[in-house]
Amino acid sequence: MLIVMKADATDVQVEAVVRVIEGLGYKAHPMPGASRTAIGITGNPGAIDPSHFENLAGVAEAVRIIAGPCAVESRRQAFAVAEVVRRSGARFFRGGAFKPRTSPYAFQGLGEEGLKILADIRETYGLKIVSEALDEPGVDLVERYADMIQIGARSMQNFTLLRRVGKSSLPVLLKRGLSATLDEWLLAAEYIMAEGNYQVVLCERGIRTFSQHTRNTLDLAAIPAVRRISHLPVIVDPSHGTGKNFMVTPLARAAVAVGADGLIVEVHDSPNDALSDGAQALTLDQYERLVSEVRAIHEVIAPAPVG
Ligand code: PEP
Ligand code: MN
């Protein structure tokens, strides 16, 4: 594992990281570079949980990963996935309790019961919980149990809903609408901020095009485009962005390389049995591999802090 320090990290901060590594019983190898220092770790028998280092002063922020099943289906399923999400070093667990399904006959989510399971996951694993609200009463419920409110692609222009989450004290994950331009997406974010809630994270999740080889067309060019005109963090959802299991990891790698601030990835302990979005869900093993790959990519492209 390689820990990349911020460009302005001090020698004292580098030494502090070295002490933590040695305290874990491993060897630390500081490698001063032209603009920043990296610290190699050896002597570890297996993967190291990056959460040991992420919060230390001077460490460049690790890529944020929000992971979980499309929907909370049962306590057993949600906990099986959460266990692996925690182990991967991710901080956020996302599971839908209210699902916006194309067909009214499809599984609609467990509702408040699902939110209670998510709150138990927070209690057990210390993960922050993200869950979608479809309407204003749903926001009241999600606020009671979760740490972040997801506004789904289909709700991106539900302006009364945007105003409602704008009055919330929780951060909002705002997914791009299925056919939204960049301006429409950013104006949707402004609906939220105009009510006083500035904690908005944008999420590119693919748009409708004529292409048929993917469920949606993941618009990775949106990432540098957003970063040029907005201060808001922008993350990428390669799961809905492709709809296909075998494409999720390659597009997750690309998303990190193109400068996304984070990823949201759907994971299931048994994708074939999933009640929603099984075709795009990663298995637990695939998810763990994805995390180590994108962290490695992030370490080499992590931009110097601005300002
Ligand atoms: C989801 O996150 O499971 C979901 C329904 O996403 P989207 O709103 O992007 O379709
Ligand atoms: Mn989904």
Short-list 221, 172, 218, 175, CA closest to 192: 172
Task: Enter the tokens of residue 191.
Answer: 């609906």
pLDDT for res 307? 39
Instruction: Say how many Å lie between the CA of residue 16 and the centre of ligand 1.
Output: 41
Residue 142 phi, psi (nearest 5): -60, -40
pLDDT band for position 61 (50/70/90)?
Answer: low
- pLDDT above 70 covers a percentage of the chain that reads 96
pLDDT for res 48? 73
Q: Which of 50-59, 79-88, 133-142, 207-216 has the lowest mean pLDDT?
A: 50-59
Q: Which residue has the higher pLDDT, 8 or 158?
A: 158
83: helix, coil or strand? helix
Strands 37-42 and 2-4: antiparallel
| 285-290: Cβ within 8 A, 24+ apart | 286/245, 286/248, 286/249, 287/67, 287/84, 287/85, 287/88, 288/84, 288/87, 288/88, 289/249, 290/248, 290/249, 290/252, 290/265
User: How much is the pTM?
Assistant: 0.85
Ligand nearest to the backbone CA of 101: 1
pLDDT band for position 304 (50/70/90)?
Answer: very low
The neighbour count for residue 273, using CB atoms within 10 Å, is 11
CA geometry: angle 295, 153, 214, nearest 5 deg? 65
* Interacting residues of 307 by C-beta distance below 8 A, sequence separation 6+: none
pLDDT band for position 303 (50/70/90)?
Answer: low
Task: Take atom 1 of ligand 1 and give the residue whose Cα is closest.
Answer: 70
Task: Take atom 9 of ligand 1 and give the residue whose Cα is closest.
Answer: 153
Residue 64 Cβ contacting ligand 1 at under 6 Å: no
* Interacting residues of 48 by C-beta distance below 8 A, sequence separation 6+: 1, 24, 26, 41
Residue 176 Cβ contacting ligand 1 at under 6 Å: no
258: helix, coil or strand? coil
Atom of ligand 1 nearest to the CA of 96: 3
Atom of ligand 1 nearest to the CA of 100: 5
